[in-house]
Amino acid sequence: MSALPEDGPKDDVVLAARNVAKSYGSVHALKGVNFDIHRGQVTTLFGENGAGKSTLMKILSGVEQPTLGEIILDGEPVVFASSSQARDRGISIIHQELSLAPNMNVRDNIFMGREIMTATGVDFAEEERQTRLLMAELEEDIDPLTPVEDLRLGQQQIVEIARALSVNSRILIMDEPTSALSASEVEVLFKVIHDLTGRGVSIVYISHHLEEALQITHHAVVLRDGTMTAYAERKDIDLEWIVRHMVGDNFDLGSPPTGYEMGEVSLKIEGLKVPDPGGAGYSVVDDMSFSVRAGEIVCIYGLMGAGRTELLESVAGRLAATAGKVLLKGRDITGQSIAECIRDGLVLVPEDRQRDGLVQTMTVGRNLSLASLGAFTRGLFTSAAREAGLVGAAIRKVHIKTDGGAAEIGSLSGGNQQKVVIGKMLATEPEVILLDEPSRGIDIGAKAEVFKLLAERARQGLAVVYTTSEVGECLSIAHRIIVMRRGRISAEFGPDATKEQIMAASGEAVHAH
């Protein structure tokens, strides 16, 4: 391993983090990280989801303040109280979700909030001239008067970059800039990045496409679980080095449960096709077929946009499929509503628990009982006693740490909130449970608990399908690993697969375009 950055910032280091730590309550997102940004060079931050990349970027760009440690800009410690303060000092961040107003044109977006004023109002001509100048510098043929919504995503990103440059940014942080771009747009972006570095702009780059990032980076920093595990210059490293440091020796997330007979096929999917929910006209799930037996745990691995979420949502009755069949215990349930699927024993734990999983205005108990109201309704009325019994059992079975059913949902930690969502679906006593990224945004201990819980249930005959974008989680409790890539199954592995094999099959290591 190469040496970590030394304590004193070197001459070409424009921005540095020293022992930066960040805690959210009891969750430690960053545990003392050192990080250097070199003038006119690209520094790429590698790490799995939840490794702390975004938190570090938020701290560097002033969106959040570190709990401990300091930020050093041009050799002097600085404190950014807000992102606008950081921007005033020349640090801009371009988020994965672009922050442009789609209804306004390029010129107005670039000068939003700092319009050039004259005595008679906004000097549109001057703004337009400067915009043209910026676009010429970036060698992009975008008319300043085009509405942003008419631009391709790649061009919109260029507009964001132009906006950052228009405030004289010296340091540009890019969070997954290529995840939604086409191959040619990526090329354009890389050319722009290259030009920018030539002009002395420093770039911090975050990407899941490892090989792609290796093309442009000068320095690589790897984060894992809030600590920096490795630092090196481009010339000293290769893909294998990154993967090794990214994944590391994983926390033990369990192993596939054994010692029992798997049952009949519980869930069978044949030739499922799901159109893009955004109406883009192609299939996000393209001819998927697989089956899961009672007591079996199947992991579906894939990158963002591989179609995992759409696959699960379609099976569970939320998205309509254009072709294919879903069979539950041999019975065709294709096209059933969510409520009918739940009644028949097929449930989905959605990916985004805040948006799709929890009702924030209801208590823990009411969230837990929401999917199984029928179980404690007699005639017209619900029975408070039966409900309390069901809630109590759910809290015990999924080990939720709470004051009881009457507690506010917001009083729970992320991991316990996730257990509420899982407990709610398990309370319906399903035959098949689909979990979309069950480990997202919860700490490692809670992850292990969730996986242990699923393994226990599988032992009792539940068919479990979960998705993940962290390769370490594939090699935990799953009996079988299905790798999805662009809506199709690209490979299938047993529990003895290696991380490199799985990542290669997903297209993560090799650039997918």
Partner 1 sequence: MSVTPAIDTKATTNGSKRKKSFVELLFEGRAFFALIAIVVVFSLMSPNYFTVSNFLIMASHVAIFGLLAIGMLLVILNGGIDLSVGSTLGFAGVVAGFLMQGVTLPQFGIILYPSVWVVVILTCLLGAAVGAVNGVLIAYLRVPAFVATLGVLYVARGLALLMTNGLTYNNLGGRPELGNTGFDWLGFNRLAGVPIGVLVLFVFAVVCHVLLTRTAFGRWLYASGGNERAAELSGVPVKRVQIIVYMLCGMCAAVAGLVLSSQLTSAGPTAGTTYELTAIAAVVIGGAALTGGRGTVIGTMLGAFVIGFLSDGLVIIGVSAYWQTVFTGAVIVTAVLLNSIKYGRR
**For residue 317, what are its two tokens?**
């009755």
For residue 298, which amino acid is it?
V
Among 357, 423, 472, 487, binds partner 1 (CB under 8 A): 357
Among 174, 371, 454, 502, binds partner 1 (CB under 8 A): 371
- Comparing CB distances to partner 1, the nearer of 53 and 447 is 447
Contacts of 361 (CB under 8 A, 6+ apart): none
Is 199 a residue that touches partner 1 (CB under 8 A)? no
125: three-class secondary structure by DSSP? helix
Among 403, 429, 456, 492, binds partner 1 (CB under 8 A): 403
- Comparing CB distances to partner 1, the nearer of 162 and 274 is 274
Among 39, 152, 366, 488, binds partner 1 (CB under 8 A): 366
**CA-based max dimension of the chain:** 82
Among 6, 7, 11, 26, binds partner 1 (CB under 8 A): 26
Is 378 a residue that touches partner 1 (CB under 8 A)? no
Closest CA to 428 of 460, 390, 383, 377: 390
Task: Choose the binding region for partner 1 from 93-101, 324-332, 340-348, 480-488 (rule: CB under 8 A).
Answer: 340-348
Closest CA to 503 of 466, 465, 469: 469
Q: What is the DSSP letter of 105?
A: B
Among 88, 240, 252, 264, binds partner 1 (CB under 8 A): 252
Among 323, 327, 407, 504, binds partner 1 (CB under 8 A): 407
Is 429 a residue that touches partner 1 (CB under 8 A)? no
Is 255 a residue that touches partner 1 (CB under 8 A)? no
CB of 244 to partner 1, least distance (A): 19
Is 421 within 8 Å of 370 (Cβ atoms)? no
Torsion, CA 190, CA 197, CA 96, CA 413, rounded to 10: 130
Is 334 a residue that touches partner 1 (CB under 8 A)? no
Among 65, 289, 322, 360, binds partner 1 (CB under 8 A): 360
Please report, as residue ranges, which positions from 432 to 471 form the binding site for partner 1 (by CB under 8 A): 443, 445-446, 448-449, 452
Among 72, 78, 362, 393, binds partner 1 (CB under 8 A): 362
Among 94, 342, 475, 483, binds partner 1 (CB under 8 A): 342
Task: Choose the binding region for partner 1 from 43-51, 111-119, 348-356, 458-466 (rule: CB under 8 A).
Answer: 348-356
Please identify which residue in the block is written with the tokens 């992991």. Answer: 299
Torsion, CA 6, CA 7, CA 13, CA 14, rounded to 10: 160
**What Rg, from alpha-carbon coordinates, does the chain have?**
25
Is 348 within 8 Å of 434 (Cβ atoms)? yes
Give, for 212, the enclosing helix (H) or strand (E): helix 210-216
Is 347 within 8 Å of 371 (Cβ atoms)? yes
Please identify which residue in the block is written with the tokens 């993940």. Answer: 468
Residue 407 to residue 354: CA distance in whole angstroms = 17
The residues binding partner 1 (CB under 8 A) are 25-26, 251-252, 316, 318, 337-339, 341-343, 348, 350, 355-362, 366, 369-371, 373-374, 377, 380-382, 399, 401-403, 407-408, 410-413, 415-416, 424-425, 428, 443, 445-446, 448-449, 452
